[in-house]
Structure 1
Amino acid sequence: MIGLSIPFARRNGFRVEELRPGYVKARIPLKGNGNHFGSLYAGAYFLVAEIPGGVLSLFDLGPAYTPILKAMTLEFLQPANSDVTVAFSLSPEQIAAILAEADETGRAKFTLEGRLMDQEGNHVATSIAHYRVRKRGFQAGTHRPPS
């Protein structure tokens, strides 16, 4: 699914390893994504830290809500000399709050913080991504019926 909508991710070996309500875990391989030092290229960190937020949004909020990355920071802690994984989660309460705000105003904001880990369990980077979700077809004064 990701490879079809974001071919760049497929070319770089990005993959979602686990996806369930409120949780996503993704991986980027070192192979094909190395830098001139032989460790993971900085752009690969960004790829593995950014795409899962969109995946989680689409999975948990549904197709009526479009996630848009507004800002992202990465703090590099040490070089990764292996594949890197990252996991993100949203609680049921966070999901409900995002949906309620988007249904009321047409958009909602949320932030995801990730710990990027190498295969030896080292915390190699931290990401902070700020997203805005837009509700498709929003018209002021209309509300989503309670479930």
Structure 2
Amino acid sequence: MSSTQIRIQATPFDPFAEQDELRRGQPQVGALVAFVGLMRDLNEGADIRAMTLEHYPGMTERALAAIADEARRRWPLEGIRILHRVGRLEPEDPIVLVAVTSRHRGDAFRACELIIDYLKTDAPFWKKEHTERGARWVEARDSDGSAKARWRDGS
């Protein structure tokens, strides 16, 4: 049975337990591909002590569901799990998990990559980094837009 699970939460998560739960009881699954985004301690030359992630409840979940739907439109997938933290995070904390199961590895790899590329540009999250000089909002990166743009041709 194919499923999509999307969660936004302030509490920590175990990426390995989440992946195991996604694939358990699905003997048809031949591939599980996951991306785990971690909180770094350095960005644009500044030491980052912590980060606060904010989102727009309801709108964020709808945006993530639309991204998952796009991946399902392109590839035959068995399961998708998108889990994103909000609130205060510290270096080394997992921020985001995108996990995809499929019968075949190519479909799972491509879907996972598309989902994270779209998430970086289309999901309404705002990041505030806390440095020794104070707090600053993180601007969108051109590289994120370029990563998403390469999918427009249906790759």
Q: Same fold (TM over 0.5)?
A: no
TM-score (norm 2): 0.32
**Alignment TM-score, normalising by the size of structure 1:** 0.33
